[in-house]
Amino acid sequence: MPQANTSNPPQKRTRVAVVAAGIVSPLGFGLIETAESLRNARDCVTPVTRFSVESCRCKTAGQIADDRLLNCSTGRMQRPERLHRASRMMICALQEMLAQAMAFEPELTVVGTTSGGMTFGEEYYRTLHGRQKTRGTPSWIANYPPQKPVIDAQEALGLSAPCQVIANACASGTNAIGHAFECVRSGRYRRVLTGGYDALSELVFVGFDSLQAATPEKCRPFDSGRTGLVLGEGAAVLALENFDLAQARGAPILAEITGYGISTDNHHLTQPNPSGIGPRQAMERALESAQLAPEAIDYINAHGTATPFNDTVEGKAIAELFDHVPISSTKGMMGHSLGAAGAVEAAISILALQHQFLPPNIHFRSGDPELGLNIVANAARPAKIRTVLSNSFGFGGTNASVIIQSAAA
């Protein structure tokens, strides 16, 4: 049976502008530092310091320095000492975004995460298990829920939009941007805040390690000798606005989101269908949503986790749909930030469009000859690009793709 495109088709063609963005990741604080790290192909993966990894295969991750995070302003937030790191990341990213679009008041906020304030839950459990005094625990409990970082960030910066928090595993960030895009494109909303966040936690780190999905070596997306992912953390936000309204008020337009595709691959909870149908459907639906042919895509920011399974399946789907389009995964530089990844990579895609370069896929040695992908190997490249496709896939068989175009495209 033919499948309906359950991503919203362009029945109503309200254009969707990205009028501001903010980002915090191991690549840097803010768009300028991030672009600089991308251009210089910086490897920002470092030995894990937040918890013991002695018994893990993998010992590294992309981490955000606590000293800088703690020095970020927390706005109007009362008792900032109780904030989780994920809340601080969101506050930093949102602050940068609002500095570009001070008048931006969203009617709705749609963000992605996988674990919110997970480490507070870990501390709570360790305290219980160690039969220690539980005096500080009410604060951990109140600040543990996954929606808390975005609510904190809004409160800190004087926003009060209702929050839809999507937890579609590693596709959460792209799903959030895609749903936010559809909300504006449908004409039901004029302004939607979107993005994603996740902070490194022991439980998730050990989880990926137990699945042997994490590598003890370098993270080498799409390399024939790839051995797995490394984790990361971060937050990124985008301000989406009805294009015509943004233009009418003279807002600077960073980029335009033109397509979104979502698919669900029911093969297995943690493994994609080897046929590549899940990623392929997501990309096809994004193209259909944008009313673009595959040839219109100038660059793909791949999910590219560097696990043998993901990269084979994603690479197969890309090779079937596209003809030698430049591809990179930026996860080799900063790790896989899970629920933040889609948002971080959307911000990276916008930087690529703005500064006309292809972000690098570092630690790449040799490609898979069966796939024949055009990998942007090891160094950023200047390029004329107008249209970018960004992929995110996750546990539960959830697949999402968004298409971002330069505002002038």
What is the set of active-site residues? 170, 303, 336
Look at residues 333, 63, 301 and name the one whose alpha carbon lies nearest to residue 219: 333
Please say which residue, 165 or 235, places its beta carbon nearer to another protein.
165
- Report d(CA 213, CA 229) in Å as an integer: 6
Main-chain phi, psi angles of 27, to 5 degrees: -75, -15
Q: State whether the Cα torsion 233-164-398-353 is positive or negative.
A: negative
Please say which residue, 49 or 134, places its beta carbon nearer to another protein.
134
Site for another protein in 274-333 (CB under 8 A): 281
The DSSP bridge pattern shows strands 387-394 and 398-405 to be antiparallel
CB of 259 to another protein, least distance (A): 14
Is residue 55 close enough to count as binding another protein by CB under 8 A? Answer: yes
Residues 6+ away with beta carbon under 8 Å from 325: 294, 297, 298, 299, 300, 318, 374
Site for another protein in 89-108 (CB under 8 A): 108
Is residue 230 close enough to count as binding another protein by CB under 8 A? Answer: no
Q: Give CA separation, 175 vs 48, 49, 119, 345, 368, in Å.
A: 29, 31, 24, 12, 29
Is residue 263 close enough to count as binding another protein by CB under 8 A? Answer: yes
Stretch that binds another protein, among 114-122, 292-300, 326-334, 369-377 (CB under 8 A): 114-122
CB of 81 to another protein, least distance (A): 17
Residues 6+ away with beta carbon under 8 Å from 251: 17, 19, 101, 241
- Report d(CA 111, CA 341) in Å as an integer: 12
**Alpha-helical runs (H) found in 59-171:** 66-71, 85-100, 118-129, 137-143, 148-156
CB of 204 to another protein, least distance (A): 9
Is residue 200 close enough to count as binding another protein by CB under 8 A? Answer: no
Q: How many CA atoms lie within 13 A of 406 on its CB side?
A: 17
Is residue 392 close enough to count as binding another protein by CB under 8 A? Answer: no
Contacting residue, 30, 116, 196, 359, with another protein by CB under 8 A: 116
The secondary structure element, H or E, covering residue 183 is: helix 172-185
b/e sequence 313-344, b meaning 16+ C-beta within 10 Å: bbbbbbbebbeebbbbbbbbbbbbbbbbbbbb
Site for another protein in 156-175 (CB under 8 A): 160-169, 175
Site for another protein in 344-373 (CB under 8 A): none
Contacting residue, 19, 45, 48, 56, with another protein by CB under 8 A: 56
CB of 310 to another protein, least distance (A): 15
Q: Which residue has the tokens 């981490």?
A: 63
CB of 393 to another protein, least distance (A): 12
Please say which residue, 49 or 52, places its beta carbon nearer to another protein.
52
Look at residues 382, 372, 394 and name the one whose alpha carbon lies nearest to residue 265: 394
With H, G, I as helix, E, B as strand and everything else as coil, classify residue 108: strand
Is residue 191 close enough to count as binding another protein by CB under 8 A? Answer: no
Contacting residue, 14, 247, 264, 354, with another protein by CB under 8 A: 264
Stretch that binds another protein, among 67-75, 129-137, 296-304, 380-388 (CB under 8 A): 129-137
CB of 268 to another protein, least distance (A): 9
CB of 248 to another protein, least distance (A): 23
Contacting residue, 102, 103, 248, 269, with another protein by CB under 8 A: 269
Is residue 384 close enough to count as binding another protein by CB under 8 A? Answer: no
Binding mask 6-25 for another protein (x = CB under 8 A): xxxx-x--------------
Is residue 70 close enough to count as binding another protein by CB under 8 A? Answer: no
